[in-house]
Amino acid sequence: MKLGVCYYPEHWPKSRWPQDAQEMRDMGIAYVRIGEFSWSTIEPEPGELHWQWLDEALEILHQHGLKVILGTPTATPPKWLVDRYPGMLAKDQQGRVRHFGSRRHYSFASLEYREECRRIVTLMAQRYGAHPAVVCWQTDNEYGCHDTILSYAEADLSAFRIWLKEKYGTVSALNKAWGNTFWSMDYRSFDEVELPNLTVTEANPSHRLDFQRCCSDQVVAFNKLQVEILRHYSQDRDLVHNYMGFFTAFDHHKVGQDLDVASWDTYPLGFLDQESIYTAEEKHTYLRVGHPDFGAFHHDLYRGCGKGRLWIMEQQPGPVNWAPHNPIPVDGAVRLWTWEAFSHGAELVSYFRWRQAPFAQEQMHAGLLRPDGKAAEGASEAAQVAQEIAQLSLATGLDADELMALPESGRVALMFDYDACWSLDIQPQSEAYRYLFWCYRLYEALRELGLSVDIIPPSASLDTYELLLLPAQVHISDELLTRLNQFQGVLLIGPRSGSKTQQYHIPANLPPGPLADLLPLTVERVDALPEHTQPHVYGRWGEGKLCHWHEQIATKLPSLLVDESGKPVLVGEGKCFYLAACLDKALLKTSLAKLAEKAGLSAEYLPSGMRIRQRGALLFVFNYGAKTGCFQPDNAELLLGSATLSTAGVAIWRRH
């Protein structure tokens, strides 16, 4: 449990740097991320490298005992480079070039730009790879931010044709895989294939899905190029990238395979305000503290992408600038968010940014310091956390590293699959039914039941889990099927699971395709509903409403929930269950409580807005609600806070 901060020495006079470093130390900060937007300062003219400022900055930070996460500056190529390689720029779906003037102005598929990245990363790695202050490298910054994964430029088309040739070998294989005969869409060679934008109507969904996969693979390759250089010149350093909230356009599990730690950038208020997943009521209730599951969901998701290792690279420290509205967090929220992250296994929580910039795009984005260099409100909460970590160490006898190493509970898992996400969203049938939203609402229901959850990739070992949810695992690989068949715990398979082959065909035996052995049923047709029609549902497991999606299934399995005409909604027996619809929040919760019970897990309904999280013997309690709430665990000793928590309150208990 360590604190960090994002710092831009190039924005401030050198004379201030020592003071900054000292104040960081005094505040309890151990890690400093620098460098990730500094290319034009490092190389103001092509080939003319200005290292001195960075040498000095590293030296000062090092002298103050601060550990440095050094960013490669490839998210912000300088103007001269863009002018030299105009083909490196991305094009949006409308075919418009996305110009220089902000950041992320490149296509991942541009080979010219990759060569420039190779050059600058090599130069940096050679110079600083063995620097004693440098303990970690961050590749680039927020892959995909500003909708930059899908690009429709010439470089992307070339990459796509190569990718397809590699995947399919022959163009007739591709034609068959895509079902191109459907509308005379057959190609005679890979050179005839175009990108799936600006078509007269919807392009072939197999075409779209393969393009998404290809673009995701470009990100993997782009990242790997940097990883290989950094591994070579800077051994024994952690490699990390900083992911974002509610972002699924590339396969984070694949990128994560090449890195040591997953980190993400968490802005609870900005996302609450801007995301359509949240209802108007949620936006109002949680205005100043964020939705109770926003942080937790992503912590658990990205820990799964990081092979168990998680950092917060950017933690919101006050009001931000980029959402439609940017309110001030309630007092204590920054501390709450920090402890929530630690409770989910974060080794490091790093605030963005040290000092609010008085110029350029983010000048209304708070830092730990104000633009005038004085402490902002977030600083005192960060300092408080630093002290509380020490307190917790004392109380537990564990140092910060040992606290980080506390085991996850590992009993409940929710499977998250980027490929399934793309597959579902390409043809949602009912427009409000989105993969990510559905996963989030399942996670929320589990968490409102007091359960600690792992969010795992399809490739993860299932051995330790008592309860496993597959929200909508569209394509079931043979390998996954094998493991599901071997799984010993309680299994809930959600709607659309097994509904497509790898090539986005309906399976020959109809959905759930390969799952039919595990769950003897057939999805005969689908009722894809608008918001205004939510049929009543009831049965042995409760009553409520279904929404968006209802599969009409033929099965002999017992029905636990049915609709008013008796059509099954939730079926299963023993340890294996199939949910043929999306459910409203309350019914989802009671259904999951039933499953938890079957799995031998004790679910507890928590007070509104309160959440708990178990790690090893420690139990963390958080209050996101507008009202004061109380949570008193059995057989537990209070280490921090109290049983009664006001808004943004935090308590830590040790269970016996």
Choice among 36, 43, 116, 142 that is catalytic: 142
The least CB distance from residue 63 to its own copies, in Å, is 24
* Minimum CB distance to its own copies smaller for 429 or for 464: 429
* Minimum CB distance to its own copies smaller for 393 or for 552: 552
* Minimum CB distance to its own copies smaller for 147 or for 260: 147
Q: Which of residues 29-88 bind its own copies (CB under 8 A)?
A: 37-41, 44-45, 73, 76-80, 83
* Minimum CB distance to its own copies smaller for 195 or for 490: 195
CB-based contacts of 109, cutoff 8 Å, min separation 6: 151, 153, 155, 156, 158, 159, 160, 215, 218
Q: Is the distance from CB of 497 to CB of 468 less than 8 angstroms?
A: no
The least CB distance from residue 422 to its own copies, in Å, is 16
Q: Is 14 in the site for its own copies (CB under 8 A)?
A: no
* Minimum CB distance to its own copies smaller for 150 or for 618: 150
> And the tokens for 329?
């967090």
Q: Which of 135, 357, 395, 481 binds its own copies (CB under 8 A)?
A: 357
Q: Are strands 568-573 and 576-579 parallel, antiparallel or unpaired?
A: antiparallel
- For its own copies, which stretch binds (CB under 8 A), given 365-373, 382-390, 449-457, 627-635? 365-373
> And the tokens for 39?
């290319």
The least CB distance from residue 45 to its own copies, in Å, is 7
Q: Which of 26, 56, 97, 170 binds its own copies (CB under 8 A)?
A: 97
Write the DSSP string, 257-283.
Answer: HTSSEEEEEE-HHHHHHH-TTS-HHHH
Number of CB atoms found within 10 A of residue 191's CB:
12
- Burial string for 114-145 (b: 16+ CB within 10 Å, else e) reads bebbeebbbbbbebbbebebbbbbbbbbbbbb
- For its own copies, which stretch binds (CB under 8 A), given 198-206, 388-396, 453-461, 622-630? 198-206
The least CB distance from residue 186 to its own copies, in Å, is 4
* Minimum CB distance to its own copies smaller for 182 or for 605: 182
Choice among 43, 314, 408, 551 that is catalytic: 314
Q: Which of 170, 363, 387, 602 binds its own copies (CB under 8 A)?
A: 363
> And the tokens for 492?
């809930």
Q: Is 274 in the site for its own copies (CB under 8 A)?
A: no
- For its own copies, which stretch binds (CB under 8 A), given 101-109, 454-462, 568-576, 623-631? 101-109
- CA dist 115 and 121 (Å) reads 10
CB-based contacts of 19, cutoff 8 Å, min separation 6: none
The secondary element (H helix, E strand) that includes residue 168 is: helix 154-168
Segment 564-571 long-range contacts (CB within 8 Å, at least 24 positions apart): 564/535, 564/536, 569/537, 569/539, 570/539, 570/541, 571/519, 571/521
Q: Where are the alpha helices (DSSP H) in 106-153?
A: 111-128
Peptide bond into 353 cis (omega under 30): yes
End-to-end CA distance of the chain: 22
* Minimum CB distance to its own copies smaller for 181 or for 485: 181
The least CB distance from residue 193 to its own copies, in Å, is 9
Nearest of 136, 145, 109 to residue 35 by alpha carbon: 136
> And the tokens for 468?
């496993």
Q: Which of residues 161-190 bind its own copies (CB under 8 A)?
A: 178-188
Q: Which of residues 588-647 bind its own copies (CB under 8 A)?
A: none
Is 59 part of the annotated catalytic residue set? no
Nearest of 282, 260, 264 to residue 272 by alpha carbon: 282
The least CB distance from residue 551 to its own copies, in Å, is 10
Instruction: Tell me: is residue 141 an annotated ligand-binding position.
Output: yes
CB-based contacts of 620, cutoff 8 Å, min separation 6: 339, 340, 342, 343, 612, 613, 614, 650, 651, 652, 653
The least CB distance from residue 304 to its own copies, in Å, is 28
* Minimum CB distance to its own copies smaller for 318 or for 450: 318
* Minimum CB distance to its own copies smaller for 327 or for 410: 327
Q: Which of 166, 192, 228, 543 binds its own copies (CB under 8 A)?
A: 192
Residues paired with residue 618 on neighbouring β-strands, in sequence order: 615, 654
Q: Is 19 in the site for its own copies (CB under 8 A)?
A: no
Q: Which of residues 233-272 bind its own copies (CB under 8 A)?
A: none
- For its own copies, which stretch binds (CB under 8 A), given 294-302, 364-372, 401-409, 601-609? 364-372
Binding mask 211-230 for its own copies (x = CB under 8 A): --------------------
> And the tokens for 174?
């591709």
Instruction: Tell me: is residue 103 an annotated ligand-binding position.
Output: yes
Largest CA distance in the chain: 76
Number of CB atoms found within 10 A of residue 590's CB:
18
Q: Is 324 in the site for its own copies (CB under 8 A)?
A: yes
The least CB distance from residue 522 to its own copies, in Å, is 8
Q: Which of 25, 167, 283, 585 binds its own copies (CB under 8 A)?
A: 283
> And the tokens for 238?
């952690």
Q: Which of 232, 325, 627, 655 binds its own copies (CB under 8 A)?
A: 325
- CA dist 25 and 522 (Å) reads 62
The least CB distance from residue 234 to its own copies, in Å, is 22
Q: Which of residues 506-565 bind its own copies (CB under 8 A)?
A: 506-510, 524-530, 532-533, 552
Per residue, the 3-state secondary structure of 172-187, as one string, reads HHHHHHHCHHHHCCCC
Binding mask 394-433 for its own copies (x = CB under 8 A): ---------------------------------x-xxx--
Please enumerate, by residue number, every residue annotated as part of a binding site: 103, 141, 322
Active site residues: 142, 314
Please enumerate, by residue number, every residue annotated as part of a binding site for substrate: 103, 141, 322
